A and B are shown apart, each in its own frame.
Chain A
Amino acid sequence: MKLYQRLHPGVNLGPTDPESHEEAEEKIFGFWIFLMSDLVLFSVLFATYAAMSIQGVAQGPSPKDIFDLSPVFLETMVLLASSFTFGLAILELKYRKNQRRLALWLTLTGLLGALFVGLELNDYRILLAEHGAAPQTSGFLSAYYLLTGTHALHVSVAIIWLIVLAVQLATLGPVGPVKLRLMRLALFWHMLDIIWIGIFTFVYLYGVVL
Chain B
Amino acid sequence: MFGRLTWDSLVFSGAIENPSASEFVASGAGSVVVLGGIALFILLAVMKWWRPLWTDWLTSVDHKKVGIMYIVLAIVMFLRAVIEAAVMRSQQLAAYDGAGYLSADHFGQLFTTHGTIMIFFVAMPFITGLMNYVMPLQIGARDVSFPRLNAISLMLTVAGAILVMISLVVGKFSTGGWTAYPPYTGIEFSPGEGVDYWIWAVTLGSIGSTLTGINFAVTIYKKRCPGMNLFRMPMFTWTTLCTSILMIFAMAPLTAASLMLALDRYADFHFFTNGDGGNMMNFANLFWLFGHPEVYILVLPAFGVWSEVVSTFSGKRIYGYTSLVCATMCIAVFSFCVWLHHFFTMGQSAGVNAAFGIATMLIGIPTGVKIYDWMLTMYRGRIRFTVPMLFHINFLFMFVLGGSTGILLANPTIDFQVHNSLFLVAHFHNVIIPGVLFGMFAAVQFWFPKAFGFRLHEGLGRKAFWFLAPGFVLAFFPLYWIGMMGATRRTATWADPAYHIWFAIAMLGAAMILAGTALLIAQVVVSVKRRKELAVPLGDPWDGRSLEWSIPAPAPSWNFAVVPTVFSQDAFDAAKCNGTAYQAPAKYEDIHVPRNSAIAPLIGLFACASAFGLIWHIWWLAIIGFVMVWAVVIVSSFNLDTEETIPADVVRAQNEAFLEAVRNAPGVTRDDETSSANQGKAVPERHENRFAQNMKGNMTEATT
**Touch A–B, Cβ below 8 Å:** yes
Interface flag for A139 (CB, 8 Å):
yes
Kindly report which residue of chain B lies nearest to residue A57, judged by CB atoms: B277
Across-interface contacts of B263 in A (CB, < 8 A)? 135, 142, 146
Given known pairs A30-B218, A33-B218, A168-B637, the reply for A56 and B279 (CB within 8 Å) is yes
Interface flag for A77 (CB, 8 Å):
no
Pair A136/B222 contact, Cβ less than 8 Å: no
Given known pairs A30-B218, A146-B263, the reply for A44 and B279 (CB within 8 Å) is no
Question: Which residues of B, 571-612, contact A by the 8 Å Cβ criterion?
Answer: none
Interface flag for A25 (CB, 8 Å):
yes
Pair A139/B270 contact, Cβ less than 8 Å: yes
Across-interface contacts of A51 in B (CB, < 8 A)? 279, 282
| A177 contact from B213, B273, B640, Cβ within 8 A | B640
| A33 contact from B217, B278, B634, B637, Cβ within 8 A | B217
Pair B270/A56 contact, Cβ less than 8 Å: yes
Pair A30/B277 contact, Cβ less than 8 Å: no
Kindly report which residue of chain A lies nearest to residue B271, judged by CB atoms: A142
Interface flag for B256 (CB, 8 Å):
yes
Pair B277/A56 contact, Cβ less than 8 Å: yes
CB distance from B80 to the nearest CB of A (A): 30
Interface flag for A197 (CB, 8 Å):
no
Kindly report which residue of chain B lies nearest to residue A137, judged by CB atoms: B276
Kindly report which residue of chain B lies nearest to residue A55, judged by CB atoms: B279
Question: Which residues of A, 53-79, contact B by the 8 Å Cβ criterion?
Answer: 55-60
Best-surrounded residue of A25, A171, A175 (most CB of chain B within 10 A)? A25
Across-interface contacts of A136 in B (CB, < 8 A)? 267-270
Interface flag for A34 (CB, 8 Å):
yes
Pair B223/A30 contact, Cβ less than 8 Å: no
- A137-154 vs B, CB cutoff 8 Å, 1 = contact: the mask equals 111101101100000000
Pair A139/B640 contact, Cβ less than 8 Å: no
Pair B214/A37 contact, Cβ less than 8 Å: yes
* Chain B interface, number of residues (Cβ within 8 angstroms): 39
A168 to B218, CA, bound (A): 26
Across-interface contacts of B251 in A (CB, < 8 A)? 37
A36 to B217, CA, bound (A): 13
Interface flag for A26 (CB, 8 Å):
yes
Pair A33/B248 contact, Cβ less than 8 Å: yes
Across-interface contacts of B257 in A (CB, < 8 A)? 44
Kindly report which residue of chain B lies nearest to residue A56, judged by CB atoms: B277
Across-interface contacts of B215 in A (CB, < 8 A)? 30
A26 to B214, CA, bound (A): 11
Pair A172/B282 contact, Cβ less than 8 Å: no
A123 to B461, CA, bound (A): 66
Interface flag for A40 (CB, 8 Å):
yes
A139 to B270, CA, bound (A): 5
- B551-572 vs A, CB cutoff 8 Å, 1 = contact: the mask equals 0000000000000000000000
Interface flag for A164 (CB, 8 Å):
yes
Question: Which residues of B, 248-278, contact A by the 8 Å Cβ criterion?
Answer: 248-249, 251-253, 255-257, 260, 263, 267-271, 273, 275-278
A45 to B253, CA, bound (A): 9
A202 to B345, CA, bound (A): 31
Interface flag for A94 (CB, 8 Å):
no
A138 to B215, CA, bound (A): 39
Interface flag for B146 (CB, 8 Å):
yes
A20 to B278, CA, bound (A): 50
Pair A36/B248 contact, Cβ less than 8 Å: yes
Pair A29/B218 contact, Cβ less than 8 Å: yes
Pair A139/B256 contact, Cβ less than 8 Å: no
Given known pairs A135-B269, A139-B271, the reply for A37 and B637 (CB within 8 Å) is no
Best-surrounded residue of A44, A164, A175 (most CB of chain B within 10 A)? A44
- B130-172 vs A, CB cutoff 8 Å, 1 = contact: the mask equals 0000000000000001100000000000000000000000000
Across-interface contacts of B289 in A (CB, < 8 A)? 44
| A29 contact from B221, B268, B273, Cβ within 8 A | B221
Pair A140/B277 contact, Cβ less than 8 Å: yes
Best-surrounded residue of B146, B214, B217, B221 (most CB of chain A within 10 A)? B214
CB distance from A131 to the nearest CB of B (A): 16
A196 to B197, CA, bound (A): 33
Across-interface contacts of A137 in B (CB, < 8 A)? 276
Kindly report which residue of chain B lies nearest to residue A145, judged by CB atoms: B269
Across-interface contacts of B277 in A (CB, < 8 A)? 52, 55-58, 60, 138-140, 142
Interface flag for A181 (CB, 8 Å):
yes
A38 to B278, CA, bound (A): 24
Across-interface contacts of A143 in B (CB, < 8 A)? 271
CB distance from A153 to the nearest CB of B (A): 12
Question: Which residues of A, 148-185, contact B by the 8 Å Cβ criterion?
Answer: 164, 168, 171-172, 175, 177, 181
Kindly report which residue of chain B lies nearest to residue A138, judged by CB atoms: B277
CB distance from B139 to the nearest CB of A (A): 14
A37 to B246, CA, bound (A): 10
Given known pairs A33-B248, A51-B282, the reply for A41 and B256 (CB within 8 Å) is yes
Interchain Cβ contacts under 8 Å between A and B, 28 examples? A30-B218, A33-B217, A33-B248, A37-B210, A37-B249, A37-B252, A38-B252, A41-B253, A44-B256, A44-B257, A44-B289, A48-B256, A48-B282, A52-B271, A58-B275, A60-B276, A60-B277, A135-B267, A137-B276, A138-B277, A139-B270, A139-B277, A142-B263, A142-B271, A142-B277, A143-B271, A168-B637, A168-B638
Pairs A-B, 3 closest by C-beta atoms: A139-B277, A56-B277, A58-B277
17 additional A-B residue pairs with CB within 8 Å, beyond A27-B146, A38-B252, A142-B263: A30-B214, A30-B218, A33-B217, A37-B210, A41-B255, A44-B256, A44-B257, A48-B256, A51-B282, A56-B279, A57-B277, A135-B269, A136-B269, A139-B277, A142-B271, A146-B271, A175-B640
| A interface list, Cβ under 8 A from B | 25-27, 29-30, 33-34, 36-38, 40-41, 44-45, 48, 51-52, 55-60, 135-140, 142-143, 145-146, 164, 168, 171-172, 175, 177, 181
| B interface list, Cβ under 8 A from A | 145-146, 210, 213-215, 217-218, 221-223, 248-249, 251-253, 255-257, 260, 263, 267-271, 273, 275-279, 282, 286, 289, 634, 637-638, 640
